Amino acid sequence: MANVKRVLCAVDFSDYSPRVAEYANLIAGCSGGTVVVLYVAPSLSQYVGFHVPPSSIENFVGEIVTGAEDTMTEFVKDNFKDLTTVGKVVTGYPAEEILSIAEAEKCDMIVMGTHGRKGIDRILFGSVAEKVVKSSKVPVLTVRPS
């Protein structure tokens, strides 16, 4: 049987992120493992050509990251009391960053939420969870909102 010692828990700080954290806690707790909690702030670099000065975009992203780091500190404190846990905030495209951090951190499993988009939303926005599941080298547990 697989030994899951390091779990990547990808969250978006939505109302159901604590539920995703419960599963990461359960899985890592069974093996006395550790959890890497990851939040990916959006990269706004694609908007540089839209008559918005690059410095304004960089300042805005900086503010998002600072706020997310504060939120991450609280999220880890509230949801991971009994496990060794590291919180990380990065910027970029969520699926790519989740896969990259999981590999860099040598994670044995990824636990993440899914919004369960359907129809036109799925066509327009795609599914981060689907991209991660299809490309991950390690098992992925997806948790749907209840």
The model's pLDDT over 68-109, given as tens digits with 9 standing for 90+, comes to 899 999 999 999 988 999 999 998 889 999 999 999 999 999
Using alpha carbons, select from 145, 109, 144, 114 the residue that is nearest to residue 130: 114
pTM of the prediction?
Answer: 0.85
**Coil/strand/helix, residue 93:** coil
Q: What are the structural domain ranges in the chain? A: 6-143
pLDDT digits (tens, 9 = 90+) for 87-98: 999 988 899 999
Q: Which of 3-17, 36-50, 68-82, 103-117 bottoms out in mean pLDDT, i.e. has the lowest?
A: 36-50
- Using CA atoms, how far residue 145 sits from 26, 113, 114, 125, in Å, is 17, 7, 7, 18
Mean pLDDT of 108-113: 96
Structure-block tokens of residue 104: 């860099």
Class in CATH terms, 6-143: alpha beta
